[in-house]
Amino acid sequence: MRRLVAVVAALVVAGCGTSDEGSAPGEVTVFAAASLTESFTSLGKDFEAANPGIKVKFNFGGSSALAQQLNQGAPADVFASAAPANMEQVADTGTITATPTTFARNTLQIAVPKGNPGGVGGLADFGKAELKIALCAEQVPCGAAARKVLAAAGVTAVPDTLEQDVKAALTKVSLGEVDAALVYRTDVKAAGGKVEGKDFPEAGQAVNDYPIAPVAKARNAAGAQAFIDFVRSEKGRAVLTEAGFVLP
């Protein structure tokens, strides 16, 4: 028992020791939208390399699911959402009190299977009944964005399926089960050569802002701020641009 107390005391002292060395100590837990998986994983490694002693832990998921987890008290230091609406959900409960910063923007692209077997040229093709079309369900951000651009283009889409998230829609494209889907530019990039992306003029009608903010009860407030600063640094901007994001 006495030995245990000694070990605990030593650990506490050691913990205090590192925190005195300047940069934020320990671990930063980041809750981030699923569409940030590739770019934030890479950014996390760079951040750890630039800040020895700090570990970044990620929890990637749908923004609304993450918001619900945060509101139920999940331990996190930073929240990066794919939509302002989900950031508002956590702000409403006081889980986040800081003013969120928009650090990236995402727009939609038409994704078609390699070789474009359906001969899809633009949004107008989404109204063709003979083509298999996947859209995101309107309840999720990519579905709401799809509705906006289709309305702006004056196209009445005839989808065969309303997918539960953007990655599911992308899977249907990469497997060739649908001829086209509306997904984010970053998802097309992340899919590598398996799908082709096509830009369309109405994409500017639905720009998705990505807000980031520290959690009010962050266990590592300094680390949280350091990570947010890193995301907004030159290095962070380069990684996000590479992933297909548009920067504010």
Q: Tell me the residue length of the chain.
A: 248
Residue 90, number of CB atoms within 10 A of its CB: 25
Based on the shown chain and the rule CB under 8 A, indicate whether residue 163 belongs to the binding site for another protein. Answer: yes
Q: How many helices (H) and strands (E) does the chain have?
A: 9, 10
Q: Are 76 and 30 in contact (CB under 8 A)?
A: yes
Whichever of 100 and 143 has its CB closer to another protein, that residue is 143
d(CA 174, CA 59): 25
Whichever of 172 and 185 has its CB closer to another protein, that residue is 172
Based on the shown chain and the rule CB under 8 A, indicate whether residue 159 belongs to the binding site for another protein. Answer: yes
Whichever of 72 and 99 has its CB closer to another protein, that residue is 72
Among 152, 133, 138, smallest CA distance to 205 is for 152
Based on the shown chain and the rule CB under 8 A, indicate whether residue 162 belongs to the binding site for another protein. Answer: yes
d(CA 166, CA 164): 7
Among 171, 186, 208, 220, binds another protein (CB under 8 A): 171
Based on the shown chain and the rule CB under 8 A, indicate whether residue 140 belongs to the binding site for another protein. Answer: yes
Whole-number Cα distances in Å, 150 to 2, 101, 114, 177, 223: 69, 28, 23, 22, 42
Size of the site for another protein (CB under 8 A): 20
Query: Which of the stretches 14-22, 133-141, 210-218, 227-235 binds another protein when contact is defined by CB under 8 A?
Result: 133-141
Task: Kindly tell me the burial class for residue 152, based on how many C-beta atoms sit within 10 Å of its own C-beta (0-12, 13-18, 19 or more).
Answer: middle
Among 10, 50, 175, 247, binds another protein (CB under 8 A): 175
Q: How far is the CB of 53 from another protein (least distance, A)?
A: 36
Q: How far is the CB of 97 from another protein (least distance, A)?
A: 23
Q: How far is the CB of 30 from another protein (least distance, A)?
A: 22
Q: Are 118 and 179 in contact (CB under 8 A)?
A: yes
- Residue 185: phi and psi, rounded to 5, are -55, -40
Q: Which two tokens stand for residue 94?
A: 């006081």
- Show the site string, 176-215: x = touches another protein by CB under 8 A, - = not: xx--------------------------------------
Q: Which two tokens stand for residue 84?
A: 């302002």
Whichever of 183 and 228 has its CB closer to another protein, that residue is 183
Q: How far is the CB of 109 from another protein (least distance, A)?
A: 21
Site for another protein, rule CB under 8 A: 62, 64, 68, 132, 134, 137, 139-140, 159-164, 168, 171-172, 175-177
